[in-house]
Structure 1
Amino acid sequence: MGGGGHLTEAGEPGSGRAGGVYTWEEVQSHCNRNDQWLVIDRKVYNITQWAKRHPGGSRVISHYAGEDASEAFTAFHPNIKYVQKFSETPVHWRVGSNRAKSGPGQKRGHHKRFSTLYVLQAGWLQHDFGHLSVFKKSSWNHVLHKFSIGHLKGASANWWNHRHFQHHAKPNIFSKDPDVNMLHVFVVGATQPVEYGIKKIKYMPYHYQHQYFFLVGPPATHSNLLPRADHTHHDFTPRLGGPGLVLSYYLRYLCCSIPMFGLFGSVLLITFVRFLESHWFVWVTQMNHLPMDIDHDKHRDWPLHLKATCNIKQSPFNDWFSGHLNFQIEHHLFPTMPRHNYHRVAPLVRALCEKHGIPYNVKTMWQGIVDVFRSLKNSGDLWLDAYLHK
Structure 2
Amino acid sequence: MLALLSCTSRLQRASATANWQPRVLACAAHHRPSLCLPRVRRRWVHRAGFWHRFDSLPASSPMRRPPPQNKNHLASPPPPLQPIPSPSVLTKGGGGGGPNNHIAPRGAAQIYSTLVAVSRRCGCTAPDQRYGSMVAVMKDAAEDAADRKARYVTSAEMARHSSEGDVWVAVQGKVYDVTSWLPLHPGGDLPPLSLAGQDVTDAFVAYHPPSAWSALGRYRVATLSDHAVSDVSRDYRRLVAEFAAAGLFDRKGHGCAASLCAMAALLLAAVWLVLATASVAAHMAAAVSLGFLWMQSGFLGHDSGHYVVMRGRALNRAVQVLAGNCVAGVSIGWWKRNHNAHHIACNSLDHDPDVQHMPLFAVSPRLFGSLTSAFYRRAMRFDAAAPFLVSYQHWTFYPVMCVARANLFLQSLLLLLADTHTRVPGRLAELAGVAVFWAWYPWLVSGLPGGAGERAAFVLVSFAVTGIQHVQFCLNHFSAGTYVGRPRGDDWFEKQTRGTIDVACPPWMDWFHGGLQFQVEHHLFPRLPRCHLRRVAPLVRDLCRKHGLPYQRCGFWEANARTLRTLRDAAMKARAVAAAGGPPPKNLLWEAVNTHG
Q: If the length of structure 2 is used for normalisation, what is the TM-score?
A: 0.57
CA distance, structure 1, for counterparts of residue 565 and residue 406 of structure 2: 20
Q: Among 534, 538, 542, which residue is 1:351 paired with?
A: 542
What RMSD over aligned residues (CA atoms) do the two structures have, in Å? 2.9
> RCO higher in 1 or 2 (8 Å CA, sep ≥ 6)?
1
Residue type of the alignment partner of 1:249:
F
Q: Aligned-pair distance for 1:345?
A: 0.3
CA distance, structure 2, for counterparts of residue 142 and residue 83 of structure 1: 22
Correspondence 1:246 to 2:434: yes
Correspondence 1:209 to 2:393: yes
Q: Which residue of 1 aligns with 2:200?
A: 69
Q: Aligned-pair distance for 1:344?
A: 0.3
Contact 1:38 1:64 in 2 (8 A): yes
Contact 1:193 1:379 in 2 (8 A): no
Q: Which residue of 2 aligns with 1:3?
A: none
CA distance, structure 2, for counterparts of residue 84 and residue 313 of structure 1: 39
Structure 1: tracts of 5 or more residues without a match: 1-16
1:20-60 superposed Cα distances (whole Å, 9 cap, x missing partner): 11111111111122222111221212222221221211112
Alignment CA distance shift 1:238-1:363 (3 Å): closer
Q: Which residue of 2 aligns with 1:269?
A: 458
Contact 1:38 1:65 in 2 (8 A): yes
Length, aligned pairs only:
370
Residue type of the alignment partner of 1:180:
V
Larger deviation: 322-331 or 66-75?
Answer: 66-75
Q: If the length of structure 1 is used for normalisation, what is the TM-score?
A: 0.85
User: Superposed, which structure 2 residues align to 1:136-175 within 5 Å?
Assistant: 137-175=312-350
Larger deviation: 136-145 or 45-54?
Answer: 136-145
1:122-141 superposed Cα distances (whole Å, 9 cap, x missing partner): 11111111111524644442
Residue type of the alignment partner of 1:216:
V
Larger deviation: 149-158 or 344-353?
Answer: 149-158
Contact 2:321 2:332 in 1 (8 A): yes
CA distance, structure 2, for counterparts of residue 81 and residue 173 of structure 1: 30
Contact 2:254 2:529 in 1 (8 A): no
Q: Which residue of 2 aligns with 1:111?
A: 253
Q: Which residue of 1 aligns with 2:474?
A: 286
Q: Which residue of 1 aligns with 2:491?
A: 301
CA distance, structure 1, for counterparts of residue 411 and residue 574 of structure 2: 33
Correspondence 1:176 to 2:351: yes
User: Superposed, which structure 2 residues align to 1:73-152 within 5 Å?
Assistant: 73-78=204-209, 80-82=210-212, 84-85=214-215, 87-88=217-218, 90-100=220-230, 101=233, 102-103=235-236, 104-105=239-240, 106=243, 107-108=248-249, 109-111=251-253, 113=255, 114-115=257-258, 116-117=261-262, 119=264, 120=293, 121-135=296-310, 137-152=312-327
1:232-282 superposed Cα distances (whole Å, 9 cap, x missing partner): 3389846333411111122123344433447955565334312331x2112
Correspondence 1:20 to 2:139: no
Contact 1:132 1:142 in 2 (8 A): no
Q: Aligned-pair distance for 1:336?
A: 1.1
CA distance, structure 2, for counterparts of residue 327 and residue 84 of structure 1: 31
Contact 1:182 1:221 in 2 (8 A): no
1:138-167 superposed Cα distances (whole Å, 9 cap, x missing partner): 444233212221112111111011100111
Larger deviation: 90-99 or 176-185?
Answer: 90-99
Residue type of the alignment partner of 2:393:
Q
Alignment CA distance shift 1:46-1:212 (3 Å): same
Alignment CA distance shift 1:23-1:248 (3 Å): same
Larger deviation: 301-310 or 263-272?
Answer: 263-272
Q: Aligned-pair distance for 1:349?
A: 0.5
- Which structure 1 residue ranges, 4+ long, deviate > 6 Å from structure 2? none
Secondary structure of 1:38's counterpart equals strand
Q: Among 144, 161, 169, which residue is 1:38 paired with?
A: 169
Correspondence 1:368 to 2:559: yes
Q: Aligned-pair distance for 1:338?
A: 0.8
Q: State percent identity of aligned pairs.
A: 26
Q: Among 491, 497, 504, which residue is 1:313 paired with?
A: 504
Secondary structure of 1:306's counterpart equals helix
Contact 1:254 1:266 in 2 (8 A): no
Alignment CA distance shift 1:235-1:112 (3 Å): farther
Alignment CA distance shift 1:290-1:317 (3 Å): farther
Q: Aligned-pair distance for 1:316?
A: 3.8
Residue type of the alignment partner of 1:248:
V
Q: Aligned-pair distance for 1:70?
A: 1.3
